[in-house]
Amino acid sequence: MRPTPRTASTSSSTPVTSRLRGLVVGTAVAALALGLAPGATAQVASSEAADTPERAQVAVRLKVATEPVVRVAVPRRTWPSRLVQAQGVPVDGNDLVEVVRDGREVRGSAKRVRHGDTVRLVDVEKRRTTKRTRVRPGVVEVPTTKLAPGRRKVVRDGRAGVQRVKVVRTLHNGEPERYRVASRTWVRKPQPRRVLVGRQPFSVDGADGLNWGALAGCESGGNPRAVNPAGYYGLYQFNVATWRSVGGSGMPHHASPGEQTYRAKLLYKSRGRSPWPHCGRLL
């Protein structure tokens, strides 16, 4: 049973060392009951068998944050949080009260203390901070046949982005335990650098030497963005089905002129001039 996390940015303002002031007094009577001498554990164990279940006492170890372990005697089946409160140790909504039995942490109904358990109070502090981080702009490369193969041309400079990042650092007994990014929001989104990269024109054996400029001029007036209301697009007036049949994606008139010519060459290789019954004679 863990306390519900609180919303404040730090744990209790009471210093850990001051938590033990009431504990020293509170354990004085318990120390007398235990004797804090060899054989005390056996005495408590025998008293459990003789006493009623409601009043039987068990010996447990109490470990508060980084302070030394203190032995106390409490009624058995006591919830660990009540044990800590009974010793006068302040606990806030962030702190953890754990029970260790035979070297393992226990949970649920088994968390009620038994003889020989160790109850640990972990001082939890949550530190919330906000910072700004720079996000690299990145680079977008666009192949083109308008530049010599391998040549590069920057057509737009990039700009780094900025993010506002809220983080929560959790400390257990003053030691870092967890780092969590709570949220990220854009102050300014990055703008990638755009670079044209020259490449060889698309090549298709048997179709490279034809007069594709003349065909494009006849079909669309040489306009790669041409749209015919009858459902034909681009330099070579592809319809969508034919465009897809030669590997095109999206709309034909959205592709670069070089890709449109390449797809037209593939179409010619499979079907000849027939897709262009009026202008195909110009090839």
What's the pLDDT tens digit per position in 144-158? 877 877 889 999 999
Q: Give me the mean pLDDT over the 136-142 stretch.
A: 93
Give the end of a domain, one of 69, 87, 122: 122
How many CB atoms sit inside 10 A of residue 273's CB?
14
pLDDT digits (tens, 9 = 90+) for 218-231: 999 999 999 999 99
pLDDT exceeds cutoff 80 at 106: yes
Co-location of 73 and 106 in the same domain: yes
Give the end of a domain, one of 154, 173, 198: 198
Alpha carbon 140 to its chain's center: 25
Give the Cα separation of 77 and 113 in Å (integer).
5
Co-location of 82 and 39 in the same domain: yes
Give the Cα separation of 127 and 12 in Å (integer).
13
Tell me the residue range of the domain where 276 lies: 212-282
Count H helices and E strands in the chain, helices first: 6, 13
Measured between alpha carbons, how far is residue 38 from residues 34, 35, 42, 58 in Å?
Answer: 10, 8, 9, 16
Cut 0.85: pTM above it: no
Give the end of a domain, one of 164, 198, 232: 198
Structure tokens, 257 = 């002129």
Structure tokens, 236 = 């070579």
Beta bridge partners of 238: 233
